[in-house]
Amino acid sequence: MIEVDRLTKYYGRLAAIKDVNFRVGQGEIVGFLGPNGAGKTTTMRILTCFSPASSGGARILGMDVNTDSLKIRQKVGYLPENVPLYDWMRVRAYLEFVARAKRIPSGQRVQELERVAACVGLDEVMGKIIRILSKGYRQRVGLAQALLGDPPILILDEPTIGLDPKQIREIRNLIKGFARNRTVILSTHILPEASQVCDRVIIINRGTIVAEDTPTNLTRSYGKSTRCRLVMRAPEGEVTALFSGLRDVISVTLAGDSVNGETSVIVEASPETDIRPALARAVLDRNWDLLELRPLHVSLEDVFIDLVTEEIEESSLTEDVEKREVAS
Amino acid sequence: MRGWYAVFRKEAANFFVAPIAYAVIAIFLLISGFFFWANVSLMSLISLQAANNPMISARINITDIVIRPLIQNMSIVLLFLMPLITMRLFSEEKKSGSIELLLTYPITDAGVLIGKFLAAQLVLLAMLAGTLTFPLFLVFLDDPDLGTLASGYLGLLLMGGAFMAMGIFLSSLTENQVVAAAVSFGAALMFWVMSWSSSFSGEWLGAILRQLSILEHLDSFHKGVLSLVDISFFALFTAFFLFLTLRSVETYRWRG
């Protein structure tokens, strides 16, 4: 449905994105993750035909973004970051303008407006001036304009930014709800959002894609370690020494002070090993009471931070080497 | 030009929802009304003074004393007011970021531009329509030259359109409305007075400056003459700046 092939965009001499490749299938919700300035918005602007690419290409529903721009714009609903609306307009008038701009026939316009308003919960504020709406409602108006004309593809740039937790949950549920029959690309740097909403995640950093998979697979394959929490009745000093000596254990950290002789520790082990049986055996061999043993899952946030930090470390290492080469 | 009507409706609504159009129209009518009153008063004074001299009174006519100066004065007032109408057309959209959304709707860039230009033209038409009461008043009193009146109004319309096209282009270059208005006014004034320096600019440069001057091309309309050269000048002037605006929007997309 969306095919991006070696997409590159330069601003002057600076490459905002470079050789970006990815595919998005029908009905998928794909999360675009990356720190600020990673190239998420640039990629979205190219896909929505707002800005042309410097090189490479993108095809949406088989159409080229450069040559079939108007046809693609008819099929894509876009919500830019910060939801730029016309503050002086009333919600209904604004949506009527968008419906007209999207060439929805006049006979279907009222019906379409009502459908979209009901879908995002705007019925109560249709007569209000946009300027006086809360941030949550502004976001809904932004989503409504994107949904007008029932586009099969939605591109949402940070749809929950600046909202309070309740509004974030509402908008997330809305996206999950209306995404059933649509392909959605959404950018975010709120990682739990990506885990909860997206079928697949693309992590972009410094203009290149550094990882692409389902949130579960990403945490499984990119997690640098597995972690377990243990609670047992045992002397604090001996626990650390015992676990540190086990094979595949990377580190042992005390999780707070010992209370009533109960010691809690977090054990970090290599990702390919299930360390739990070895830990249980070690505790029982010492005749300590094992009160709790549970794995701590690696979050998408951990993976994201690892990938982004790795990239920065790698690039600074390369820069150092280059500098040294130049100096010598 | 696809999608221009949606943009036209939105922009026209913006002009008349916000007080911009009302303020500009009111000021234009007030000042034009003042000039009309002054010209009619002058006409009445001259008529009284010439009442005993049939030679002079035969040469007095309402077209020369009231209509022609009125149209000339209105064109100067338009020079001041046109930037106020065009200043926000692109700069406001760029500042708020709404241009990003607008340019992702299935509307061509030309559609966006023409929609905005025609909405501004609507305000100009409303301004000029408001002043039609003055000549109507004269028609009841005397026998003004309707040809001169019509060509004068056509000149105002063409000149207003030309200034608007230039103002829209300058608005597309900045996010700041005040900058857009100030530069538009300065540029319009430059085109207005350009011919003043033609007498001491040498032969060929002087000829070029005269050809580029708005004032030179407006003169025939004030005299009641419809010259193809002058009509073409305003049409080309307008088309040139609209074309530049399209290129400016395209550049904005590349930088976007």
According to the model, what pLDDT value does residue A245 have?
A: 86
The nearest alpha carbon in chain A to B11 belongs to A97
In terms of pLDDT, which residue wins out, B71 or A303?
A: B71
Q: Which two tokens stand for residue A142?
A: 């932004």
CB atoms closer than 10 angstroms to residue A247: 9
Q: What is the pLDDT of residue A162?
A: 74
Q: A168 and A245 share a domain?
A: no
ipTM of predicted complex: 0.88
> Contact A49/B7, CB-based, under 8 Å?
no
Best probe of the B interface among A43, A50, A95, by most B CBs < 10 A, is: A50
Taking only the tens place, the pLDDT of each residue in B239-253 is 999 999 999 999 999
Taking the CA atoms of residue B180, residue B115, residue B106 and residue B19 in that order, the dihedral angle to the nearest 10 degrees is 70
Backbone angles phi, psi at B96, to 5 degrees: -80, -15
Any domain includes A27: yes
> Would you place residue B138 in the very low, low, confident or very high pLDDT band (cuts 50, 70, 90)?
confident
Same domain, yes or no: A66 and A177: yes
- For CA atoms A259, A260, A263, A264, the dihedral sign is negative
Indicate whether A49 belongs to any domain. Answer: yes
For residues B8 and A313, which has the higher predicted lDDT (pLDDT)?
A: B8
Residue A248 lies in a domain: yes
CATH of the domain at A235: 3.30.70.3190
Task: Please tell me the distance from the alpha carbon of residue A139 to that of residue A143, in angstroms, as a whole number.
Answer: 6
Q: Which residues of A touch B253 (CB under 8 A)?
A: 50-52
pLDDT of residue A268: 85
One domain for residues A143 and A62? yes
- For residue B205, the model assigns a pLDDT of 87
Nearest-neighbour CA in chain A from B45: distance (Å): 50
A214 and A234 together in one domain? no
Contacts A84 to B, Cβ<8 Å:
96-101
Sorted by sequence, the CB contacts under 8 Å of residue B72 that are 6+ apart come out as B222
Q: Does residue A70 sit in the same domain as residue A125?
A: yes
Domain that holds residue A287: 225-296
Any domain includes A204: yes
**Residues A90, A235 share a domain:** no
Burial of A221 (0-12, 13-18, 19+ CB in 10 A): exposed
Contact between B100 and A84 using a beta-carbon 8 Å cutoff: yes
- Give phi and psi for A68, each to the nearest 5: -115, 35
Least reliable range by pLDDT among A103-112, A263-272, B31-40, B170-179 = A263-272
Answer yes or no: do A209 and A248 share one domain: no
Q: Is residue A26 part of a domain?
A: yes
Measured in angstroms, the CA of A87 and the nearest CA of chain B are apart by 10
Lowest-pLDDT range of A178-182, A186-190, B20-24, B227-231: A178-182
Collect all residues of chain A within an 8 Å Cβ-Cβ radius of residue B10. Answer: 86, 89, 97
Question: What tokens were used for B116?
Answer: 């905005």
CATH assignment at residue A115: 3.40.50.300
Task: Tell me which amino acid residue A272 is.
Answer: E
**A41, part of any domain:** yes
Of A45, A73, A87, the CB nearest to B105: A73
| B53-76 average pLDDT score | 87
Q: How far is CA B228 from CA A11, A256, B217, B219, B233, in A?
A: 46, 91, 10, 13, 8
| A143 shares a domain with A216 | yes
Mean pLDDT of B221-228: 90
Q: Does A33 share its domain with A100? A: yes
Question: Which residue on chain B is closest to A47 by alpha carbon?
Answer: B104
From chain A, the residues in CB contact with B15 under 8 A are none
* A chain contacts of residue B95, beta-carbon cutoff 8 Å: none
Out of A186, A203, A221, a domain closes at A221
Question: In chain A, what's the furthest Cα-to-Cα distance?
Answer: 80
Task: Output the tens digit of pLDDT for each of chain A's 328 residues.
Answer: 899 999 999 998 899 999 999 999 988 999 998 888 889 999 999 999 999 999 999 999 999 999 999 999 999 999 998 899 999 999 999 999 999 999 999 999 999 999 999 888 898 999 999 999 998 899 999 999 999 999 999 999 988 877 788 878 888 888 887 777 789 999 987 777 788 888 899 989 889 998 888 887 777 666 666 788 889 998 888 888 888 888 888 888 888 777 788 888 888 888 777 888 888 999 999 999 999 998 877 677 777 777 776 655 555 555 555 555 555 5
Q: Which residue has the tokens 């050789």?
A: A19
Same domain, A244 and A113: no
Q: CB–CB of B105 and A86 under 8 A? A: no
SS3 of residue A275 by DSSP: coil
Q: Hey, of A51, A54, A106, A157, which one would you mutate to test binding to chain B, going by the most B CBs within 10 A of its CB?
A: A51
Number of domains in chain A: 2
Residue of A nearest to B8 (CA): A97
- Token pair for A321: 């080497």
- Whether A313 is covered by a domain: the verdict is no
Query: How open is the CA angle A102-A105-A106, to the nearest 5 degrees?
Result: 110
Q: List C-alpha distances in Å: A36 to A32, A40, A80, A190, A306.
A: 12, 8, 15, 12, 16
Q: Which residue has the higher pLDDT, A312 or B183?
A: B183
B6 vs A101: CB contact, 8 Å cut-off?
yes
Task: Report the chain A residue with the minimal C-alpha distance to residue B252.
Answer: A51
Determine, for residues B106 and A86 on separate chains, whether the beta-carbon distance falls below 8 Å.
no
Q: Is residue A285 part of a domain?
A: yes
CB A147 within 8 A of CB A180: no
Q: Give the per-residue pLDDT at B167.
A: 97
CA distance B180 to chain A (A): 20
For residues A180 and A241, state if they share a domain.
no
Which H/E stretch holds residue A70?
helix A69-75
Q: Are residues A89 and A177 in the same domain?
A: yes
Contact B256 A86 (CB under 8 A): no
Question: Residue B34 has which token pair?
Answer: 């003042």
DSSP state of A241: H
Query: Are the Cβ atoms of A84 and B98 closer than 8 angstroms?
Result: yes
Q: Which residue has the higher pLDDT, B196 or A115?
A: A115
**Per-residue pLDDT for B206 more than 90?**
no
CB-based contact A1:A63 (threshold 8 Å): no
